[in-house]
A and B are shown apart, each in its own frame.
Chain A
Amino acid sequence: MTTPDTVTPETASRASRRTLLKGAGAAVLLGFHLPSKGALAQPASAPGVPPPVPEVNAWVVIHPDDRVVLRMARTEMGQGTRTGLAQLIAEELQCDWSRVSTEYVTPGQSLARNRAWGAFLTAGSQGIRQSQEYVRRGGAAARMMLVQAAADRWGVPAGECAAKDSVITHGPTGRRLRYGEVAAEAARLAPPADVPLKDPRSWTIAGQPLARIDTADKTTGKQVYGADLRMAGMLVAVPRRCPVFGGRVKSFDAAAVTGMPGVKHVLQVGDSCVAVVADTFWRAKTALDALPVEWDVGESGRVSSATVAAMLDEGLTAKEAFVGNESGDARAAIAGAARKVEATYSYPFLNHAPMEPMNATVLWTPARCDVWCPTQNGEAALAAAAGAAGLPQTACDVHRVDLGGGFGRRTVHDWLEDAVRIARQVPGLPVKTMWTREEDMVQGRYHPVTKCRLTAGLDEKGDITGLHMRISGQSILSTAFPGGLQNGRDPVQFQGLNPGGAEGAIGYTFPNLLVDHAMRNTHVPAHFWRGVNHNQNAIYLECFLDEVAHATGQDPLALRRKLMANHPKHLAVLNAVAERIGWGSPPPPGVHRGLAQQMGFGSYVAAAAEVSVSDAGQLRIHRIVAATDPGHAANPRQIEMQVEGSFVYGLSAMLYQEITLKDGAVEQTNFDSYNVLRMDEMPKVETIVMPSGGFWGGVGEPTIMVAAPAVLNALFAATGKRIRDMPLKHHDLRRA
């Protein structure tokens, strides 16, 4: 990777060429995802240039001194994927863990090698679970080739040799060779056709609670994020888009600011954006703030949160709706029920607000475009960059840096396209485009806004005979990925409510059930936000079941258990948290409990919360117990961190966060109007990791699903108040 202060435009393109050469410096590659051998012949070393590193295969590089470099296609943004994937490869490679480091491959390298590294997408809690099999096979194949190379040198059968800690031992004679001694020979061998994997029960590196391999630089300021990139001659651009989505630039008065300190260029960027390019961020921002701009906001300038709410209200009873889950005849069961319970919930737009605002550094020339940026999807970033650069992807590349948070925002590359459009107007110089926090807040890609009306029909005993969940609101795929719609229906809307499947199946069996969605889209672009539609779907269903339990005098856990007989994995995590929190035994004085469970991103999670509410209405969350069954656990310590972090993300939204609209524009501009849970509000978190084997679920998001509903149910137990619209800051929490 390039480092700050050392990169000039010339060395930048040299560096990128060198990385490309390094990536293509393959001798032998595995069969999967990989092109033929001939395309990857070892390039000759130029004088003075070190020879290409010994690549055993696409995933594994072993240096003569036994340093092991594992290649990464997925992105590290704090979720621990780098360490988890490295553990999985190293487990099969049987290398010395203390000598392991990692490097990112670029999407350009992958493109040149027929997608040798598979998908780059790091979202949907799938960084590990969607790639674990082929990265493990990469490690295993490399080990087999290293063992074969040693066996060949000794003239013995490979079956007599074993590998451990980067050393190959010939059993009968005790002879030993280090990986670094045979890596070059191994690289010339044909990759094995049959690559068996270890039984996870025999793992010694994977599955262990190892420390992260990338922590040290984050404690000294050495870690370089996109915002920190520095290159010789680099300029800094600060952009501002039309505050109303879909609006355009009408005019701006560049002359008013061109003489200000450090200002180099005042630019229009596409139809809807202006930018000031200066020698420093502060000078660019100062000039941008002084730049007179007139916007044509268009029709959307009349939209407000009230008009959106009215549109959603209409959808709650609309005739037409997309069906997500239907069994029996819920409407008839409800119509004929002895008793009905009904409630309407709502959930607002939310901004991702990663700590590092959007940024990208771009060097554009008529012949080539190189980008350095934090992205959750290198391949999509490359496509976006090439499109905005007016160049083929083969003339572009994206050099990734670790992310200062992603949460879904960095899976979409509107900010990168604008950065390339800016750099294209400053050819030959690297331009770092940096958003202000304010721009990041008002130009987000937001968690969608929805409402939900739930109606349950009950029999005389209080058992549910029919349930109808009508969701009304914005579809993510309609803006993020229209190609994913199914005859207009957005399947992502029903996360956690699906009749089955490995991703997000409902954990209850109702005699009659209807879950449907009246799609009501706004001009505000919706996008995947950590936890996605589970965030509200879990609140809607888990809080409503709690309502039914209280309305019928049933224990919330007992009511759930009656409905969960056919869902043993959902039930197992729920039982685990109920047992740990002491459900059924009296809580400490003044403390009240709530429960929730949900399946999402392939994992089963549940939470139990203990809260108290003061006479003044001050909520305190004392303790949360969370259980996760992700099938397999690549690193239980990292899972604990993801569980703790998920509560912060989910509870921040529940307590404080909403994006509101006025005159078509977002009203919140910074953390003072879009607050976040802080240290003094953080509950104790007890994490139960209970992998049951046989499947691979994610861990970065699932716990968010249950964070808010568990607390909201406890809050009801404490106050008798059922909060049905977020955030809590709008509600008086004093006891009813």
Chain B
Amino acid sequence: MARLNINGKTVEVDAEPDTPLLWAIRDHVGLTGTKYGCGVAQCGACTVHLDGQAIRACSLPVSAVAEDQKIVTIEGLSPDGNHPVQVAWRALDVPQCGFCQSGMIMAAAALLAEKPRPTDDEINEAMTNICRCGTFNRVRAGIHQAAAATAGTTG
């Protein structure tokens, strides 16, 4: 049994201690926006925020997550789906099949929280997620657009 704080709510999860956070989120809590793509921290489809940092939930056992650590999934990124990254993603039609995009969006949101106006090199370093459809150029454009929109609203 693990107690996890997911999207602002504390939930009890009846999972073995070695259960990856990904599967606790998907199968025990029932939030399926976070995806399984590889299970070995390669593809990033499982990216969630742990205390604001982008992490790969497929490779972090629930036993390594403390009750007071804040987990945010794609479902909790914004109350209405209007985080600047989500808005930019819709404006630029970033997703193709979309399966990797929850992870892409979470990675991009974490990057922008740390670096509000990232350079292309900083984007390259932070965005190591795999997309088999090949949306990278639109992901990059989306990050720049979200950064510009955020700068616009905060002055």
A interface residues (Cβ-Cβ under 8 A, vs B)? 4-5, 77-80, 211-212, 215-225, 227-228, 230, 236, 261, 280-283, 286, 353-357, 402-407, 436-438, 637, 641, 644-649, 670-672, 676, 678-680, 682, 684-685
Contacts and interface: CB of A to CB of B under 8 A. Distances in A.
A281 B27 contact: yes
20 contacts: A78-B96, A78-B98, A215-B98, A219-B101, A221-B73, A221-B75, A225-B99, A230-B30, A280-B27, A353-B132, A356-B97, A404-B97, A405-B99, A405-B132, A645-B133, A648-B133, A649-B134, A678-B127, A678-B130, A684-B137
Contact of A679 (B43, B95, B123): B123
B45 to A, nearest CB: 6
B31 A221 contact: yes
B23 A679 contact: no
Interface of B: 15-16, 18-20, 23, 26-28, 30-40, 42-43, 45, 73-75, 81, 86, 89-90, 93-102, 105, 123-125, 127-140
Given A436-B39, A671-B43, 13 more contacts: A77-B97, A78-B133, A281-B36, A355-B97, A404-B98, A407-B132, A641-B135, A645-B96, A649-B134, A670-B39, A672-B40, A672-B42, A679-B124
A227 B35 contact: yes
A215 B130 contact: no
Given A227-B36, A230-B30, A649 B101 contact: no
Contacts of A646: 134
A520 to B, nearest CB: 29
A185 B108 CA distance: 51
Contacts of A215: 89-90, 93-95, 98
B23 A5 contact: no
Given A356-B99, A679-B139, A261 B16 contact: yes
A4 B93 contact: no
Nearest to A262: B16
Nearest to B125: A680
Contact of B137 (A4, A355, A644): A644
Mostly, the B contact residues are: loop
Contact of B95 (A219, A227, A281, A648): A219
A220 B74 contact: yes
A644 B132 contact: no
Contact of A671 (B40, B97, B136): B40
Contacts of B40: 437, 670-672
Given A219-B81, A220-B74, A641 B138 contact: yes
A211 B92 CA distance: 8
A355 B99 contact: yes
Contacts, number: 178
Given A221-B73, A405-B132, A648-B131, A355 B90 contact: no
Contacts of A648: 131-134, 136
Interface centre among A5, A436, A670 (most CB of B within 10 A): A670
A679 B31 contact: no
B120 to A, nearest CB: 9
A124 to B, nearest CB: 18
> Which A-B residue pairs are the 7 nearest by beta carbons?
A221-B33, A648-B134, A78-B97, A404-B99, A218-B98, A645-B134, A78-B96
Given A220-B86, A221-B33, A211 B134 contact: no
B96 A282 contact: no
B36 A220 contact: no
Contacts of A403: 97
Contact of A355 (B45, B127, B128, B140): B45
A221 B34 contact: yes
A682 B131 CA distance: 11
Given A355-B97, A672-B40, A679-B123, A685 B137 contact: yes
A218 B95 CA distance: 7
Contacts of A671: 37-38, 40, 42-43, 130
Nearest to A352: B132
A685 B18 CA distance: 43
Nearest to A404: B99
Contacts of B39: 436-438, 670
B43 A282 contact: no
Contact of B81 (A79, A216, A355): A216
A280 B28 contact: yes
B21 to A, nearest CB: 11
Contact of A282 (B19, B34, B45, B131): B19
A687 to B, nearest CB: 10
A280 B26 CA distance: 9
Contacts of A224: 32
A405 B97 contact: yes
